[in-house]
Amino acid sequence: MDDFGPIILIIVCFCSLIFSLISSVGVPVGLYETGEIDLPFYKKDGDSCRFSFLCKSGKCNSSWGGLKKGVCYSPNTIKDGKTCSKDDQCVSGACANVYKKGSICCPSGSKHLYWGKHYCDNLPDGWPSNRKEYCASGKETNNQCYTPGEVVVGGVCTKDGDCADGKVCAKPSKAYTKKHCCPSGKKGDYCLNMPINSHCPNGEYCAEGLFCDKGVCKPKGKPNDPCSKDDNCISGKCAKKDTYDKSKICCPTGKTKDGYCYPMELNYHCPSDELCASGMYCDKKTKQCTKLLANNTKCDDDKACASGKCAEKDTYDKSKICCPTGQVKGKYCHPMGLNYHCPGDEYCAAGMYCDKKTKQCTNYVGSGGTCTDKSQCSPGLSCSWFSAYKPSGKRCCKTVKDGYCYPIPKGAHSPKDDLCASGKRKGGICL
């Protein structure tokens, strides 16, 4: 068989030459498009091929006379920047090399030969290039075409003057080796006010409302969102929610106390009264923030009451209540109201006394009112006989003379003339 090797190679080369000639001649123009020739073995775009005449489009990008396979393609269909191998594949009409991108369709539609290779030229700003001659602007920095004073935010730059609209040039973060035009100002070597999802060295470089989370600008948390540090939160404070759920949250009020968000809301588990919101206290049993108790509600601690005082109601009902006035005398709420059972006059409210018989707070008797003891009378009054007729009883009065309220009125019995209002009497009765 070795003797036939050269012969086989000659045959293959001859056949390849014949097929190349046929391919170059091709099929008469228009037959593919009109459908006059539509043989079953014709190949579609993208199918592998060796010769153009086998493709329905009449185009195959094979090389070496078909020895190296290619694919069928329709001309002028590949857009700028996409991979290509022949000029007529491109919409722009030019296929050449671009720095670190290989062979692509040139955006400008022009190219030139350099050291045996074709390169795209007249490249627009932002396109990769390692030579300024290939750039339309004639300027290249950091292997990228640019126009001084026209680089937009985010574009590569070398100095402030490269950036459009007076923007400055700096690194977005430590993760970058190249400088970019900053959205708004810079500090040292890095851009400030970086937008969401931008790289950042720390929080001060992110725009308002953002924080630096593991090197990326992220939105700050809303109230009650989980957090790890103060700068994670819009409120500026990150702390434990309560004693039950010790995970950290963004404090709604932007305040903290003893490591917790402050003040705590209703039903939050609390370590002390001081951490609960206004109008609440930390219940000793449930260890939760609870609304302060209203006046006259049963209680067991001063701090549970809206009035701030918890004491016994009176001597009859010794259960503790929230004192309405917020005052305590001895062990009782003070002052006691009408009909409250009292230990003494000083425990009753103004205008009352502690009745010796009923042991209840009772309204004072005014001038002329019936009484049995001076303590029943309003302050400044005495309790004396109304007249000489004893069954009429005693009355509260301001002036007393000879043991009688003075003066004795007309028609009342009097032991003496001078006790009568008129100074006269007849038959023991004042005239």
| pLDDT for 202 beyond 60 | yes
The predicted-structure confidence for 356-404, as pLDDT tens digits, reads as follows: 889 999 999 999 999 988 889 998 999 999 998 888 899 999 999 999 9
What is the C-alpha to C-alpha distance for residues 403 and 87, in angstroms, rounded to an integer? 138
Q: Tally Cβ neighbours within 10 Å of residue 391.
A: 6
Tell me the pLDDT band of 40, cut-offs 50, 70 and 90: low
Closest to 388 (Cα-Cα) out of 368, 367, 416, 369: 416
The reply to whether the predicted model has a pTM over 0.95 is no
The predicted-structure confidence for 267-311, as pLDDT tens digits, reads as follows: 999 999 999 999 999 998 999 999 999 999 999 889 899 999 999
Residue 381 lies in a domain: yes
Residue 407 lies in a domain: yes
Residue 85 lies in a domain: no
The predicted-structure confidence for 318-331, as pLDDT tens digits, reads as follows: 899 999 999 999 99
Handedness of CA 175, 207, 212, 201 (dihedral sign): positive
Tell me the pLDDT band of 412, cut-offs 50, 70 and 90: very high
Q: Can you tell me which residue has the tokens 């009451």?
A: 305
Share of the chain above pLDDT 70, in %: 90
Residue 428 lies in a domain: yes
Q: What is the domain extent for residue 381?
A: 364-431
The predicted-structure confidence for 57-79, as pLDDT tens digits, reads as follows: 888 988 887 788 888 999 999 99
What is the C-alpha to C-alpha distance for residues 307 and 291, in angstroms, rounded to an integer? 12
Q: What is the pLDDT of residue 248?
A: 94
Nearest 5°: the CA angle 211, 215, 217 is: 35
Domains held by the chain: number: 1
What is the C-alpha to C-alpha distance for residues 208 and 128, in angstroms, rounded to an integer? 33
Q: What is the mean pLDDT of the chain?
A: 86
Mean pLDDT over residues 124-139, rounded? 88
What is the C-alpha to C-alpha distance for residues 385 and 403, in angstroms, rounded to an integer? 7
The alpha carbon of 282 is separated from its chain's Cα centroid by a whole number of angstroms, namely 27
Structural contact between residues 287 and 269, judged by C-beta atoms closer than 8 angstroms? yes
Task: Annotate the chain with three-state secondary structure.
Answer: CHHHHHHHHHHHHHHHHHHHHHHHHCCCCCHHHHCCCCCCCCECCCCEECCHHHECCCCECCEHHHCECEEECCCCCECCCCECCCHHHECCCCEEEECCCEEEECCCCCEEEECCEEEECCECCCCECCCHHHECCCCEECCEECCCCCECCCCEECCHHHEHHHCCEEECCCCCCCEEECCCCEECCEECCECCCCECCCHHHECCCEEEECCEEEECECCCCECCCHHHECCCCEEECCCCCCCEEECCCCCEECCEECCECCCCECCCHHHECCCEEECCCCCEEEECECCCCECCCHHHECCCCEEECCCCCCCEEECCCCCEECCEECCECCCCECCCHHHECCCEEECCCCCEEEECECCCCEECCHHHECCCCEEEECCCCHHHCEEEECCEECCEECCECCCCECCCHHHECCCCEECCEEC
Q: What is the pLDDT of residue 246?
A: 86
Residue 241 lies in a domain: no
Q: What is the pLDDT of residue 26?
A: 42
What is the C-alpha to C-alpha distance for residues 312 and 327, in angstroms, rounded to an integer? 11
Q: In angstroms, what is the C-alpha Rg of the chain?
A: 53
User: How many CA atoms are closer than 13 Å to the CA of 291, on its beta-carbon side?
Assistant: 4
Residue 385 lies in a domain: yes
The predicted-structure confidence for 220-277, as pLDDT tens digits, reads as follows: 999 999 999 898 999 999 999 999 988 999 999 999 999 999 999 999 999 999 999 9
Q: What is the pLDDT of residue 12?
A: 46
Q: Can you tell me which residue has the tokens 């086989």?
A: 8
Structural contact between residues 178 and 142, judged by C-beta atoms closer than 8 angstroms? yes
Q: What is the pLDDT of residue 94?
A: 94
Residue 100, CA distances (Å) to 93, 144, 289 in order? 21, 11, 65
What is the C-alpha to C-alpha distance for residues 344 and 401, in angstroms, rounded to an integer? 29
Q: What is the pLDDT of residue 165?
A: 85
Mean pLDDT over residues 421-425, rounded? 92
Residue 404 lies in a domain: yes
Q: Tally Cβ neighbours within 10 Å of residue 421.
A: 14
Mean pLDDT over residues 152-164, rounded? 86
| pLDDT for 91 beyond 90 | yes
Tell me the pLDDT band of 126, cut-offs 50, 70 and 90: confident
Mean pLDDT over residues 207-215, rounded? 87
Closest to 261 (Cα-Cα) out of 285, 240, 233, 288: 240
Residues 6+ away with beta carbon under 8 Å from 336? 314, 342, 347, 348, 349, 352, 361
The predicted-structure confidence for 167-186, as pLDDT tens digits, reads as follows: 899 988 777 888 889 888 88
Residue 195 lies in a domain: no
What is the C-alpha to C-alpha distance for residues 196 and 179, in angstroms, rounded to an integer? 18
Task: Pick left, alpha or beta for residue 329 (phi over 0 → left; psi -120 to 50 → alpha; otherwise beta).
Answer: beta
Tell me the pLDDT band of 11, cut-offs 50, 70 and 90: low
